[in-house]
Amino acid sequence: DVAADRFVRVRNTEVLERVLAMPGADKLTGFVLPKITRHNFDNYYRLLRHTEHVLMPTLETAEAFDDQEMQGLRAVLEAPGVRHRILALRIGGNDLLALLGLRRPRGMTLYRTPLGPVISRLVTTFRPYGFMLTAPVFEYLDLPELLDQEVIEDLAHGMIGKTAIHPTQIAPIEQHFKVSPQDLAVARAILDQSAPAVFRMNDAMCEVATHRAWAERTVEQSRLFGFHGAELDHKPFLEGEPS
C-alpha cells in the first residue's frame, strides 16, 4: 500500500502563515499554492523556506497564456533550494477558461477548447526541464464516458495526475493510470541492462536511449496504480532488431 500524502490548498499567504502556526502542520506533506506567477512565488516560499513541505503551484492566471512569463516562472522554480521542493505543477483549467469568458462545453474534452494549445505549450515549457504537471478538473458528474476520453488525452499529454471534484471520479481516473501489461513488459525490456540499443517488441521499434524516460515513468506508474489484466509473462523480450 502507498501511504497517502496530505496537502492543503491555501487561499493566500495569510492563510498559509496561519496554517503553518497550527499544531501538527509539520505532519502535512505540503501545500497547493494558488495563482502562482514568477512575481508572487517568493511571497509564499519565504514562509516555507525553512520547512520540509513540498509544493504544488497552480497555473491559473493570465500569465499561463504568455510563454515568456512561464519561462520566467520556470527559472524561479529552478532556483537552488527550490527545485527539489516542487512536486508538480497543477493546471487550473476552470480559472483559465474564466479568463477567456468561457466554460467547458458539454460534449467535448478540454483539449477541444482554446485551452488545448495552452496545455500543450505548458507541457513543452516545463516537462523537458523535469517539472511534472497535473490535469484540470472535469466538472460534469453525469458524463463518465467523456471523463474517460479526457483522461486518455491527459495521459497522451504526459499528465501525471488529474484533480477529482467528487469521490465517484477517483476510481475511473485511477483506472486509466493503470498500466497495460504490454506497456509494462516493454518498459521492463527497455530498462533491461542486456537490451540492445534498438529492438523490436510487439511490432514496434524500441530504442533504449530515447524511450528510457518513458520506461522509467511507466514502471513507476505501475508501482503506484497497478496494471490491467493477469500476471505478466516474463519471457525474453527480443523479437529481433528492425531491419
pTM score: 0.86
Grid coordinates belonging to 43: 511571497
Grid coordinates belonging to 187: 518498459
53 within 8 A of 29, measured Cβ to Cβ: yes
Q: What is the share, in percent, of the chain residues with pLDDT greater than 90?
A: 90
pLDDT digits (tens, 9 = 90+) for 28-37: 999 999 999 9
How does DSSP assign 151-178, residue by residue?
HHHHHHTT---B--SSHHHHHHHHHHHS
Helix, strand and coil content of the chain, in percent to the nearest 5, comes to 45, 15, 40
Q: What is the pLDDT of residue 183?
A: 93
29 within 8 A of 52, measured Cβ to Cβ: no
Return the ∠ at Cα 137 (arms to 135 and 138), rounded to 5°. Answer: 120
Grid coordinates belonging to 30: 505540503
- pLDDT, mean of residues 8-36: 97
At residue 105 the predicted structure's pLDDT band, cuts being 50, 70 and 90, is: very high
Residue 241 pLDDT exceeds 50: no
3-state secondary structure (DSSP) of residue 77:
helix
Amino acid at 88: A
Q: What is the pLDDT of residue 99?
A: 98
pLDDT digits (tens, 9 = 90+) for 57-90: 999 999 999 999 999 999 999 999 999 999 999 9
Our separate counts of H helices and E strands in the chain read: 9, 7
122 within 8 A of 128, measured Cβ to Cβ: no
Domain ranges of the chain: 7-177, 178-243
104 within 8 A of 97, measured Cβ to Cβ: yes
Amino acid at 210: T
pLDDT digits (tens, 9 = 90+) for 178-225: 999 999 999 999 999 999 999 999 899 999 999 999 999 999 999 989
pLDDT digits (tens, 9 = 90+) for 131-141: 999 999 999 99
CATH fold of 7-177 reads TIM Barrel (3.20.20)
Amino acid at 237: F
Phi (first) and psi of residue 179, to 5 degrees: -95, 140
- pLDDT, mean of residues 167-183: 94
